[in-house]
């Protein structure tokens, strides 16, 4: 991370280090741009760029006339990466397969969709090395992705297919736990009442909802992990 070239990057990294190792504490005022300009013997714009980046990343807060201050540590945040199944399997050397168990066009129920609008309903079972790993129930608004009508989802699972067909969407995620009722338990090869880790994701594009998916994972076979660092390690 410190291998970046450039004076501005060096200043940025050095100040970041001072903040992260506690030398400069939250609330403390840091030197002004002019002082840093002198210390590093460079142009003010160069210092400014370094500080602007630190401010954008939330490590410092800047106020005109008052100066720059080390920010208070943020409320705990976690950046979850919801991996693509195929990708995840590849990483762990497992074989991934999926199977569409239901495919049906239905009118939208009340809720997030415009009632009555045509939707595609899919049920899909995901397996890692032939063992059921996730159960997916998905609704897709056909008007948002007309091509979905002819998609067969044989090579790609619906989620992966959509990622390629709906660029730059927004999503809302909800993670919860539940106990398996009979239908899901049978699909996932669990006993009724087993704990499930559930992920619901609704995806939007250009103001309209695109898809609403619920994924259920056997508790002992899946977990979400996230590393959060103040420095948003890239």
Contacting positions for a second copy (CB under 8 A):
19-22, 25-26, 56, 59, 72-73, 75-84, 87, 163, 167-179, 193-198, 201, 205-206, 217, 219, 222-231
Judge whether 145 and 165 are in contact, CB under 8 Å: yes
Residue 109 interacts with which of DNA, a second copy, none, CB < 5 to 8 Å by class: none
Residue 57 touches DNA, criterion: CB under 7 A = no
Residue 48 binds which of a second copy, DNA, none (CB < 5-8 A, kind-dependent): DNA
Asked if 14 interacts with DNA (CB under 7 A), we say no
- The CA-based dihedral angle spanning residues 234, 228, 86, 138, taken in that order and rounded to the nearest 10 degrees: -120
Closest alpha carbon to 180 in 224, 132, 228: 132
Tokens found for residue 172: 């809302």
Neighbouring C-alpha atoms within 13 Å toward the C-beta of 2: 7
Q: Classify residue 224 by burial, with Cβ atoms within 10 Å: 0-12, 13-18, 19+.
A: middle
Contacted by 67, from DNA, a second copy, none: CB < 5 to 8 Å by type: DNA
Q: What is the size of the binding site for DNA (CB under 7 A)?
A: 27
Query: Smaller CB distance to a second copy: residue 40 or 224?
Result: 224
The helix (run of H) or strand (run of E) holding residue 29 is strand 29-30
Interacting partner of 179 out of a second copy, DNA, none (Cβ under 5 to 8 A depending on kind)? a second copy
Q: Work out the number of other CB atoms within 10 angstroms of the CB of residue 59.
A: 23
Q: How far is the CB of 232 from DNA (least distance, A)?
A: 17
- Bridge-partner residues for 122, per DSSP? 103, 138
3 binds DNA (CB under 7 A): no
What is d(CA 39, CA 224) in angstroms, rounded to the nearest whole number?
45
For residue 9, state whether it binds DNA (rule: CB under 7 A).
yes
Give the side-chain half-sphere CA count within 13 A for 191: 1
Q: Least distance (Å) from DNA to the CB of residue 230?
A: 19
Piece of the chain touching DNA by CB under 7 A; list 57-65, 101-109, 136-144, 190-198: 57-65
Binding residue (CB under 7 A) for DNA from 13, 14, 33, 88: 33
Residues that bind DNA (CB under 7 A): 4-10, 32-34, 42-46, 48-49, 51-52, 55, 62-68
């Amino acid at each position: 991370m410190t291998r970046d070239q450039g004076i501005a990057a060096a200043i940025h990294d050095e100040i970041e280090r001072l903040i992260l190792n506690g030398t400069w504490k939250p609330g403390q005022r840091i030197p002004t741009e002019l002082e840093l300009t002198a210390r590093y013997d460079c142009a003010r714009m160069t210092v400014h760029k370094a500080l602007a980046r630190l401010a954008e990343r939330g490590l410092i807060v800047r106020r005109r006339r008052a100066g720059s201050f080390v920010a208070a540590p943020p409320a705990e945040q976690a950046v979850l990466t919801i991996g693509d199944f195929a990708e995840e399997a590849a990483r762990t050397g497992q074989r991934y397969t999926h199977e569409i168990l239901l495919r049906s066009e239905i009118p939208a129920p009340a809720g997030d969709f415009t009632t009555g609008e045509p939707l595609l309903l899919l049920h899909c079972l995901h397996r890692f090395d032939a063992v059921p790993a996730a159960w997916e129930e998905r609704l897709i608004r056909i008007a948002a992705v007309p091509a979905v009508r002819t998609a067969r989802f044989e090579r790609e699972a619906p989620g992966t297919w959509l990622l390629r067909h709906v660029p730059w969407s927004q999503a809302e995620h909800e993670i919860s736990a539940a106990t398996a009722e009979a239908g899901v338990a049978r699909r996932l090869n669990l006993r009724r009442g087993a704990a499930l880790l559930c992920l619901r994701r609704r995806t939007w594009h250009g103001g309209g909802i695109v898809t609403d998916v619920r994924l259920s994972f056997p508790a002992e076979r899946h977990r979400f992990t996230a590393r959060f660092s103040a420095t948003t390690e890239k």
